[in-house]
Amino acid sequence: MTRKFARFGGAAVAATLLVLTACDASGDKSATAQSAKNWTEFRDNFLKGYFPLNPTFAIYQGKHEFDGQLPDWSPEGLEKQAAFLEKTIADAKAFDGEMTEAEKFERDYLVRVAEGQLFFLRDTDFAAKNPAFYTGALDPNVYIARPYGTPEQRMKAFIAYATKVPAAAAQIKANLKLPLPATFVKYGTAGFGGFADYYKGDAKAAFASVKDEALQKQFDDAVAKAGAAMTDLAEYVGSQPGTANGYALGPDRFAKMILTNEGVDTPLDELERIGQADLKRNQDALKAACATYAAGMTIAECMKKMNADKPADGPVAEARRQLPTLRAFLVEKDLVTIPGTEQAQVEESPPYNRQNSAYIDIPGPYEKGLPSVYYISPPDPAWDKQTQADFVPGRKDLLFTSVHEVWPGHFLNFLHSNRAGSIFGKLFVGYAFAEGWAHYTEEMMWDAGLGEGDPETHIGQLSNALLRDCRYLSAIGLHTKGMTVADSEKLFKEQCYQDEGNARQQAARGTYDPAYLNYTMGKLMIRKLREDWTKGDRTKWKAFHDEFLSYGGPPIPMVRAAMMKEGAPKAVF
């Protein structure tokens, strides 16, 4: 259940990959500048070069001067992005101007962001085979769901976007080399085909109030061509049978991915052992909770009982009821500062983005006064009726999804990051920081008394924890140990007690989102940092949470080094 990193892109992998895409950087705005007089000038020059190279990223931050633009996915465009990142890293490391400690931290933050993004360009073949490389940057939801301007203004931006879709689709089609892994085929056909449906459906409905007939005709013409291009791209992706393998990064690249993106250099065998230990810890807790809640039943039967307690009026309505209660609990227990008065809306997710059961779209730091939207996905209509019914979460399972996405998970994280002292803290909230924090808060809320010891509530929390444990172990297995998709599915069902639909969905996701181990990996690093920083004193939890969130979202080992006043950053679990 990942949030929608709309500030970065679509699903979790696209969250990372959206910031990798490039457009024409004419005029050498990329001079991040050995010539900069001070760090502030260096940083500002970097951003001036970065936003034009990454227009969709800029739009999702609230830089609407880039509205309607799409990346250049030609080989030349991708090479420009890689060269820009390489120059940024070299210049930042060589910068020898006078710097405060905060500026040195920001420089190291920038280097890590650039190295992580460069990894996906230089060290993977995602541009040639992973549709998730593209879907985030293609997402037009910003024009539909965010009322940052008048309907006419946003409609014109959408038309400009749709006009550019056919050329973008042609570049993607030229880049993708068939056959693709079977899970990539399913993801790509659903994602690209879903855009075509979205253009004609939700997008058209969103601008129905605009009475300008000429503008509506421009919209219809642009959408017809964009939809045809996306349909053609989906058909191309599905035109050859998918392969059973071909998705694995391999041990060396997987290790480099977590090092460059998250600052974690722990050997893979040790990482796997850490994940297996957390899986056992949560399984043991589940057995104890089920012994009370469902005495005499198997663990699988206990989980089915919890998930049978479904909201009569559906998960969207139930989540709307849960959010005020969760916020009130945070205030009552004084667990973390809630900056601002913003609230999150709850809606059903659009058809093109239902590969995860829940996510949140949070406006970027340049937006003012706009709502965040917590999306919940309905089951796949292609599934049989029982699988569809099982997919809808039980109320207590959904409660901890709401914790994860909103209070005090992603939504609160971004309320803090949007107020971070560093502009990089506002813009570049990393995968392990964001998902680690959101997942950490689930267990923290239970430990703080949410549910008042009710075993069904505990089982809901543990269901989410086990899901993330199986993601962690599947990521390592699929990409470094020869695990098959069927093996991963079996792991989700038998060790983490997930229903058929979720197990199928999550095993597939592990192939195209190799970094989805970051939920548990981030959680474990944050929990260890909390215990070391507070020395076990629960009265210091609020101070810890506020301090941790103040950094925005750099790699957690960097935050640990700063908070613990240690030397070089290191991963500690």
DSSP-assigned beta bridge partners for residue 358: 376
Q: Do the domain assignments include residue 314?
A: yes
* Residue written as token pair 């409609």: 155
127: tokens are 């541009």
Indicate if the alpha-carbon torsion angle 526, 528, 534, 539 is positive or negative. positive
Domain that includes residue 119, residue range: 12-237
Q: Beta-carbon neighbour count of residue 28 at 10 Å?
A: 7
Residues 326 and 218 reside in one and the same domain: no
Q: Looking at the structure, do residues 233 and 272 belong to the same domain, yes or no?
A: no
572, part of any domain: no
Considering its fold, how many domains does the chain have in total? 2
273 with 215, same domain: the answer is no
In a domain, 510, yes or no: yes
**Residue 118 and residue 218 in one domain:** yes
Q: Are 40 and 144 in contact (CB under 8 A)?
A: no
pLDDT tens for the 573 residues of the chain, in order? 332 333 323 333 444 444 433 333 334 444 445 578 899 999 999 999 999 999 999 999 999 999 999 999 999 999 999 999 999 999 999 998 899 999 999 999 999 999 999 999 999 999 999 999 999 999 998 998 899 999 999 999 999 999 999 999 999 999 999 999 999 999 999 999 999 999 999 899 999 999 999 999 999 999 999 999 999 999 999 999 999 999 999 999 999 999 999 999 999 999 999 999 999 999 999 999 999 999 999 999 999 999 999 999 999 999 999 999 999 999 999 999 999 888 999 999 877 667 668 999 999 999 988 989 999 988 888 889 988 888 889 999 999 999 999 999 999 999 999 999 999 999 999 999 999 999 999 999 999 999 999 999 999 999 999 999 999 999 999 999 999 999 999 999 999 999 898 899 999 999 999 999 999 999 999 999 999 999 999 999 999 999 999 999 999 999 999 999 998 999 999
Place of tokens 């191309």: 236
Residue 355 has what pLDDT?
62
How far apart (Å, rounded) are the C-alpha atoms in residues 393 and 370?
Answer: 29
Rounded to 5°, angle at Cα 272 from 306 and 275: 30
Amino acid at 81: Q
- Rounded to whole angstroms, the Cα distance separating 54 from 20 reads 7
Question: What are the φ/ψ torsions at residue 360 (nearest 5 degrees)?
Answer: -130, 140
Residue 211 inside a domain? The answer is: yes
Residue 144 lies in a domain: yes
Q: Looking at the domain assignment, is residue 569 inside a domain?
A: no
pLDDT for the residue 352: 62
Q: Are residues 477 and 368 in the same domain?
A: yes
Are 31 and 85 within one domain?
yes
Residue keyed to tokens 């949140």: 360
Nearest CA-CA partner of 344 in 310, 306, 317, 375: 375
Q: With respect to residue 467, please indicate whether it lies within any of the assigned structural domains.
A: yes
272 and 225, same domain (yes or no): no
Which of 188, 221, 237 is the C-terminal boundary of a domain? 237
User: Within 13 A of 305's CA, how many CA atoms are on the CB side?
Assistant: 18
Burial group, residue 537, by CB count within 10 angstroms (0-12, 13-18, 19+): exposed
Same domain, 170 and 275: no
pLDDT at 4: 31
Last residue of a domain, one of 196, 216, 237: 237
Phi, psi at residue 374, to the nearest 5°? -95, 115
In the numeric block, the tokens 């642009």 are attached to: 222
- 232 with 274, same domain: the answer is no
pTM beyond 0.85: the answer is yes
Helix, strand, coil in percent for the chain, rounding step 5: 65, 5, 30
In a domain, 166, yes or no: yes
Please indicate, yes or no, whether residues 402 and 480 belong to a single structural domain of this protein. yes
> Quick one: 171 and 62 in the same domain?
yes
Largest separation between any pair of C-alpha atoms in the chain = 72
Query: Which stretches of 98-244 are assigned E, i.e. beta strand?
Result: none
Q: Are residues 164 and 291 in the same domain?
A: no
Task: Please check whether residue 388 is in contact with residue 380, taking contact to mean a CB–CB distance below 8 angstroms.
Answer: yes
d(CA 246, CA 180): 8
| Distance from C-alpha of 261 to C-alpha of 112, rounded to nearest angstrom | 7
